[in-house]
């Protein structure tokens, strides 16, 4: 799981000796964010326009043309083990994968954050209780959850989302909890209390804005891992159901033929996921800087 860094404030760093270094300008930050956004938007758009863009029906199996390599005539990115056009499947796959990944990331981030916030502000007892619960979730093998969910709900997208959420929530909770504990000590919280703010008002109107940056960074960091994780689930037959094109499933199905020497079917979706994931990571890091108005030099 991807844990992301907390912002590093600028201040004397003797490790640098006297060598001065350029400092990261707002401009570059925004450039980064826009770039990331462009990439993501691009994929979303492609997903939306799939019917128009995809050269083939993504599910159309043509046993005549299995395992065509990249650049094969008629199949720009080749074909998979059923002779389906990989490019088309990639294009269509974005639909499911992005939805799944975003839904999962969003819900687990929200759930985890709420848990952490409440835990952080409801006294040692309650906090202990909540964090023990988190422990339980940690201690419980995700795979079991997934398999069981699959049995209960029948395999498919909901299972994927749910099990991902279940696996991610404790991590989010742990990270945010750490952040919240920092905030808890800050005087503005006490000030809010002295101004008669209630429990939830403090939580969501005072503290939340201060940990939001962290949450966003972490949440965006999850996206890539989510898709990857969904691929692992597909490998166990409890992922997104066939024939729906889905990057995760493409990876796991492609993996079934790597040893046989056909690397593309797994490699290509893998790369796509990578790009999307990186885009989200950048977005997160960028957003943190944008979010946090105080990111100016300290010391002096």
* Secondary-structure breakdown of the chain: helix, strand, coil percentages, each rounded to the nearest 5: 70, 0, 30
Selected from 90, 142, 162, 164, the binder of other proteins by CB under 8 A is 142
Smallest CA-to-CA distance from 45 within 98, 105, 106 is with 98
Residue 20 tokens read as: 């001065």
**Shortest gap between Cβ of 151 and other proteins (angstroms)?**
5
* Angle between helical axes of 157-185 and 123-139 (0-180°, round to 10): 150
C-alpha dihedral sign at 128, 130, 131, 133: positive
Residue 222 tokens read as: 């999850």
d(CA 213, CA 216): 5
Nearer to other proteins, 48 or 117 (CB): 117
Per-residue binder mask for other proteins (CB under 8 A), 223-252, x = binder? -xx-xx--xx--xxxx--xxx-------xx
Selected from 31, 45, 126, 258, the binder of other proteins by CB under 8 A is 258
Selected from 42, 66, 99, 107, the binder of other proteins by CB under 8 A is 66
**Shortest gap between Cβ of 76 and other proteins (angstroms)?**
21
Nearer to other proteins, 68 or 266 (CB): 266
Selected from 11, 51, 52, 73, the binder of other proteins by CB under 8 A is 11
Q: What is the DSSP letter of 186?
A: S
Query: Which parts of 18-37 interact with other proteins (CB under 8 A)?
Result: 18-25
Nearer to other proteins, 49 or 242 (CB): 242
Query: Which parts of 168-227 interact with other proteins (CB under 8 A)?
Result: 174, 186-188, 190-198, 201, 205-206, 209-210, 212, 221, 224-225, 227
Q: Per rule CB under 8 A, is residue 51 in the interface with other proteins?
A: no
Residues 6+ apart with CB under 8 A from 222: 1, 2, 104, 105, 108, 109, 168, 172
Selected from 29, 35, 67, 99, the binder of other proteins by CB under 8 A is 67
The 10 Å Cβ neighbour count of residue 11 is 9
| Residues 223, 109 contacting (CB under 8 angstroms) | no
Q: Per rule CB under 8 A, is residue 296 in the interface with other proteins?
A: yes
Selected from 35, 37, 39, 83, the binder of other proteins by CB under 8 A is 83
3-state secondary structure 233-246: HHHCCCCCCCCCCC
């Amino acid at each position: 799981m991807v844990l992301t860094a907390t912002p590093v404030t600028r201040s004397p760093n003797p490790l640098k000796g006297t060598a001065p270094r350029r400092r990261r300008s707002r401009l570059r930050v925004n450039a980064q964010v826009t770039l990331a956004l462009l990439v993501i938007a691009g994929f979303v758009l492609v997903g939306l326009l799939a019917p128009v863009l995809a050269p083939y029906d993504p599910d159309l199996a043509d046993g005549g043309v299995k395992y065509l390599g990249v650049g094969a005539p008629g199949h720009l990115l080749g074909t998979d083990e059923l002779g389906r056009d990989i490019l088309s499947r990639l294009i269509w796959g974005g639909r499911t994968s992005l939805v799944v990944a975003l839904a999962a990331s969003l819900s687990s981030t929200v759930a985890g954050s709420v848990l952490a916030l409440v835990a952080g502000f409801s006294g040692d007892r309650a906090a202990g209780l909540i964090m023990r619960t988190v422990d339980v979730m940690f201690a419980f093998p995700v795979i079991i959850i997934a398999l069981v969910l699959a049995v209960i709900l029948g395999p498919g997208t909901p299972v994927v989302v749910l099990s991902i959420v279940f696996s991610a929530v404790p991590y989010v909770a742990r990270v945010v909890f750490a952040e919240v504990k920092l905030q808890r000590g800050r005087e503005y919280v006490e000030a809010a209390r002295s101004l008669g703010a209630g429990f939830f008002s403090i939580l969501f109107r005072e503290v939340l804005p201060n940990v939001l940056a962290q949450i966003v960074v972490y949440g965006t960091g999850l996206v890539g891992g989510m898709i990857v994780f969904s691929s692992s689930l597909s490998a166990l037959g409890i992922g997104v159901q066939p024939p729906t094109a889905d990057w995760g499933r493409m990876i796991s199905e492609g993996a079934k033929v790597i040893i046989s020497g056909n690397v593309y079917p797994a490699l290509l979706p893998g790369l796509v996921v990578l790009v999307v994931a990186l885009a989200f990571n950048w977005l997160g890091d960028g957003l943190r800087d944008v979010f946090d108005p105080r990111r100016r030099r300290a010391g002096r």
